[in-house]
Amino acid sequence: MAVPVAFFALFFAYPVTAIVARGLRIDGVWRFGRIADVLAQSDIRHVLWFTTWQALASTALTLLIALPGAYVFARFDFRGKQVLRAVVTVPFVLPTVVVGTAFLALLGRGGLLDDLWGVRLDTTVWAILLAHVFFNYAVVVRTVGGLWSQLDPRQEEAARMLGASRFAAWRGVTLPALGPAVAAAALMVFLFTFTSFGVVQILGGPTFSTLEVEIYRQTSEIFDLSTAAVLTVVQFGAVGAVLAVHAWTVRRRETALRLVDASLTARRPRGAGQRALLGGVLVSIAVLLVLPLAVLVERSLGAPDLGYYRALTSDEGGIFLVPPIDAVGNSLQYALAATAIALLIGGLAAAALTRRDAGRLVRGFDALLMLPLGVSAVTVGFGFLIALDEPPLDLRSSWILVPLAQALVGVPFVVRTMLPVLRAVDGRLREAAAVLGASPWRVWREVDLPMVRRALLVAAGFAFAVSLGEFGATVFIARPDNPTLPVAVARLLGRAGELNYGQAMALSTILMVVCAVALLVLERLRTDRTGEF
């Protein structure tokens, strides 16, 4: 545990504490009364209200649209199911900047709806809500659907034979069993939408602002670190509460159910009702998930002879010190380095958490590993610039700063992927190898590694995808001569002109293709066939 604890203390706790302290400690005195002063401002209360309201609305809308999809993937067997499962998951691993750009191409000025019917939804709350459904659809389908596919259908059939109607049997048997999974999925959707940044930044315009966007605005535009620190503390408290409830629901799901082989519960749809349900889910996936990505690709091809892609090789626009296409190579290099760091830190943490004699402190660290997913990435990025500015940790001019920030987001995915597999390894195999004289390193190499090799590859894929799309922290620390893809897209969208818009679409398409390829590889490497994350 020493290495993961040191890593998180140095590159997460220290920068966040430094930026909060810089905002709340004035002239050497802690001004905790500043918290009440900031929260008393009407515009800040409006930001808090909108952040909470849009997260609740996004969660409810996502559950409403995605739960039928979870049932279809859990109970139906149809041609192309595995490919469609990968398609559904692509939006989840896409960077939020790409999601925002895709919906801008669909709903914004000059977008598909504007061209066809003169309808624009950008800078409206509906664009934000639909983009959040697009991004989180897979969370519900794969978390709830993964468990639903393993529930024994004979229990519900027994209730039907005893006289219960189809709805009564579902409500009395299946729904209570699914409750913890639905709650866990809803909490994760709420967490992702509560801390939404890239989507709101691109689609919300100046009208709408979440806590994360307001922290960015207060930090980079107004330079009011005091207000930004207060908002960071508020967001940190809210995220901590959500993660605590999420951990409780996961424990309920792990201990309260008897599951069966998922391959035994799926069957071909029968009857007009089931076929209609399957058709409706396919249409919703096509409209909500596939159409925005298709429009994004179409807009990137809008110039003759791939003009927007050709323009990426030129630095005449003056936005960057290098051609925008260089952002592709930069992002790949940063993501590979971040993946290596995340695998090292996350693998060590997962190995320590599997020990049967792990104390309460070690188990508590398991929950803390999730905090980088919810704590303001803007705060982390700006904290890097403030805290890591003196020898021997003066990293502001070092290339490693970006991979370190990206690895913070990748580590939770590595731990969540490897931990269940490591816990499933029979401890008697390790003991037998040790009795035969194997050293601890050889026990790991000969016993654990062959069993977790595939999980390790899946963890690497997730870490690579999320590192590639990290935006909140990278926007502060990426240098103008080494921009990443999400930063390049955001800056191109921030400048007027058809060429800049087209280049943003082209870069977003490239980033989408890279993430989609990584996900398709993950689908072939999945260690379980339940479809659950």
Separation between Cα atoms, residue 145 and residue 268, nearest integer Å:
16
Q: Output the pTM of the full model.
A: 0.80
CATH number, span 51-207+255-300: 1.10.3720.10
The pLDDT of residue 533: 45
The pLDDT of residue 27: 65
> What is the average pLDDT across 421-445?
80
pLDDT value at 144 more than 60: yes
The yes-or-no answer to whether 51-207+255-300 and 302-533 have a common fold is: yes
Interval 460-516: pLDDT, tens: 887 888 888 788 788 878 887 788 888 888 888 777 788 888 888 888 888 888 877
Q: Which CATH superfamily is domain 302-533 in?
A: MetI-like (1.10.3720.10)
The pLDDT of residue 527: 44
Do residues 189 and 59 lie in contact, with contact meaning Cβ atoms separated by under 8 Å? yes
> What is the average pLDDT across 118-141?
87
pLDDT value at 425 more than 70: yes
> What is the average pLDDT across 30-49?
84
Domain boundaries along the sequence of the chain: 51-207+255-300, 302-533
The pLDDT of residue 58: 95
Interval 371-388: pLDDT, tens: 787 677 777 887 888 888
The pLDDT of residue 484: 86
> What is the average pLDDT across 111-128?
82
Helix residue ranges, H only, 76-204: 81-93, 96-107, 112-117, 125-148, 153-161, 166-169, 175-194, 198-203
The pLDDT of residue 236: 80
Q: ∠ CA(306), CA(295), CA(313), 5° rounding?
A: 30
Separation between Cα atoms, residue 66 and residue 413, nearest integer Å:
22
Percentage with pLDDT > 90 across the chain? 12
Interval 275-317: pLDDT, tens: 898 899 999 999 988 998 898 888 888 888 888 898 888 776 5
Of the pLDDT bands very low, low, confident and very high (cuts 50, 70, 90), residue 108 is: confident
Interval 225-283: pLDDT, tens: 788 888 888 888 888 788 777 767 666 554 444 445 455 566 777 888 888 988 999 99
The pLDDT of residue 20: 80
